[in-house]
Structure 1
Amino acid sequence: MTRIATGEITTHVQRLDAVRPADATGEPPVVVFVHGLLTDSLASYYFTVGPAFAAAGVDVVMYDLRGHGRSDRPRDGYRLESFVGDLTGLLDALGERRPVHVVGNSFGGTVAAALAAWHPERVATVTMIESEPPVAEWTRHMAAGLDDARRRLAREDVIDWIAAHHGAHTARLSRGASRILATTTLADDVPAGRVIADDLSALTCPLLAIFGDESGLAAQVPELTAKVADCRTVVLPNQGHSVLVERPEETRDLILGWVTRHTLAGTAVR
Structure 2
Amino acid sequence: MAFVHAHSLRFHVQRLPAAGPDGTRSDRTDRSDEPVVVFLHGLVVDNLSSFYCPLALPTARAGHEVVLYDLRGHGRTERPATGYDSRTAVRDLLALLGALGLGHRRVHLVGNSHGGTLALHAALDRPDLVAGLTLLEPPLSGAWVENMVDTLSAAALSLEGSAVPTELLGLRLRKAAHLTAIADELLNRTSLIDDIAASRTFTPADYARLRCPLLIVCGEHSELVPGAKELARHATQASTTLRILPGLGHDVLKESSGALRQAVLAHLGATAAVTAARAGALAP
Q: Same fold (TM over 0.5)?
A: yes
Match of 2:13 in 1: 13
1:68-107 matches, cutoff 5 A: 68-96=74-102, 97-107=104-114
What is the distance in 1 between the residues matched to 2:193 and 2:258? 32
Match of 1:184 in 2: 190
Query: Which of 220, 232, 235 is 1:228 aligned to?
Result: 235
**1:203 Cα shift?**
2.7
Alignment-mate amino acid for residue 14 of structure 1:
Q
Is this contact kept in 1: 2:3–2:10, CA < 8 A? Answer: yes
1:120 aligned counterpart, secondary structure: coil
1:211 aligned counterpart, secondary structure: strand
Alignment TM-score, normalising by the size of structure 1: 0.86
**1:146 Cα shift?**
2.3
Distance 1:102 1:7, change over 3 A: same
Confirm or deny that 1:204 pairs with 2:211. yes
Unaligned 5+ segments in structure 2 are 21-25, 166-172, 280-284
What is the distance in 2 between the residues matched to 1:267 and 1:232? 20
16-25 or 97-106, which deviates more? 16-25
Match of 2:118 in 1: 111
1:1-270 matches, cutoff 5 A: 1-19=1-19, 22=27, 26-27=31-32, 28-96=34-102, 97-133=104-140, 136-154=142-160, 173-199=179-205, 200-229=207-236, 230-266=239-275, 269=278
Is this contact kept in 1: 2:35–2:275, CA < 8 A? Answer: no
Is this contact kept in 2: 1:124–1:268, CA < 8 A? Answer: no
What is the distance in 1 between the residues matched to 2:29 and 2:2? 28
Distance 1:9 1:26, change over 3 A: closer
CA RMSD of aligned residues (A): 2.7
Alignment-mate amino acid for residue 270 of structure 2:
R
**1:235 Cα shift?**
1.0
What is the distance in 2 between the residues matched to 1:71 and 1:24? 30
Is this contact kept in 1: 2:41–2:113, CA < 8 A? Answer: yes
Map Cα deviations across residues 83-114 of structure 1 (whole Å, 9 max, x no partner): 11111111111121221110001110011000
Distance 1:24 1:183, change over 3 A: closer
Distance 1:57 1:146, change over 3 A: same
Distance 1:215 1:62, change over 3 A: same
23-32 or 78-87, which deviates more? 23-32
**1:69 Cα shift?**
1.0
Map Cα deviations across residues 187-216 of structure 1 (whole Å, 9 max, x no partner): 111221344434323333222111111221
**1:142 Cα shift?**
3.4
Is this contact kept in 1: 2:138–2:228, CA < 8 A? Answer: no
Map Cα deviations across residues 27-54 of structure 1 (whole Å, 9 max, x no partner): 4442000000111111111232211111
1:77 aligned counterpart, secondary structure: coil
What is the distance in 1 between the residues matched to 2:164 and 2:77? 27
Match of 2:168 in 1: none
Amino-acid identity (%): 37
What is the distance in 2 between the residues matched to 1:85 and 1:30? 17
1:78 aligned counterpart, secondary structure: coil
What is the distance in 1 between the residues matched to 2:8 and 2:143? 29
Tell me the matched-pair count. Answer: 263
What is the distance in 1 between the residues matched to 2:119 and 2:81? 23
Alignment TM-score, normalising by the size of structure 2: 0.82
Map Cα deviations across residues 38-73 of structure 1 (whole Å, 9 max, x no partner): 111111112322111111100000000011111110
Unaligned 5+ segments in structure 1 are 160-166
Alignment-mate amino acid for residue 179 of structure 1:
E
Is this contact kept in 2: 1:39–1:177, CA < 8 A? Answer: yes
Is this contact kept in 2: 1:49–1:249, CA < 8 A? Answer: no
Find the structure with the greater CA-based Rg: 2
What is the distance in 1 between the residues matched to 2:144 and 2:82? 21
2:128 aligned counterpart, secondary structure: helix
Distance 1:152 1:243, change over 3 A: farther
What is the distance in 2 between the residues matched to 1:217 and 1:153? 27
Alignment-mate amino acid for residue 206 of structure 1:
P
